[in-house]
Amino acid sequence: MNITETKEILKEISDTIIENKEYLTELDSAIGDGDHGFNMAKGFKFVKESLEDDFDDYKSLFMMVSQKLISKVGGASGPLYGTFFMKFAMKLNGVDNLDRNSFNEAFKDGVEGVKMRGKAKVGDKTMIDVLEPVSIALNEGKDFSQVLEIAKEKLDYTKEIKANKGRASYIGERSIGHIDPGAMSSYLMLKKVFE
């Protein structure tokens, strides 16, 4: 996948997040402070605008995404997604062809960065419930349709568990029955990558 194709996917991801602003806000209103959709849409609006610029390599492209999300997205989402894209970018330093292997390794580093930053693990009802199983599936060599199935299954699972992290953890048992908004925004992005 070349830089032009990668920018196109990032543009589609940005559009998807912006289009789903109300839905993500609705999910977050049920168990959080209701700003996830607004914040994410705002951040990806800036990402989309910056995709008009030229980028010499993958690292500078993904560092731009990281910086926009960290500086423009409020709440926990900005630092967490920003960290994902920062670690992803750093792993691609010197990579001139984003093949499956490079992508898998960068994705794994991105997920590890989010785990360190947010101190979350699988089962805490966060974006990690989707991202980590996807990373494992990628590195096991599963094809993209299988990876996306796993992502959907893990997304749905967040509805059944109690939140142990973030604002949603304040309502404890009442968080059961609701999909985690961070897991949903992660899933929406992954769909654009793997479909």
Write out pLDDT tens, residues 16-46.
999 999 999 999 999 888 999 999 999 999 9
C-alpha to C-alpha distance for 65 and 80, rounded to whole angstroms: 12
- Measuring CA to CA, how many Å separate 25 from each of 36, 66, 77, 132, 166? 5, 22, 13, 24, 16
Percent above pLDDT 90 for the chain: 85
Nearest to 188 by CA among 47, 59, 27, 12: 12
- Average pLDDT of every residue of the chain: 95
What pTM, to 2 d.p., does this model score?
0.95
Query: CA geometry: angle at 36 spanning 173 and 13, to 5°?
Result: 125
pLDDT of 169 > 80? The answer is no
Tell me, what's the pLDDT at 166?
A: 81
148-159: per-residue pLDDT in tens?
Answer: 999 999 999 999
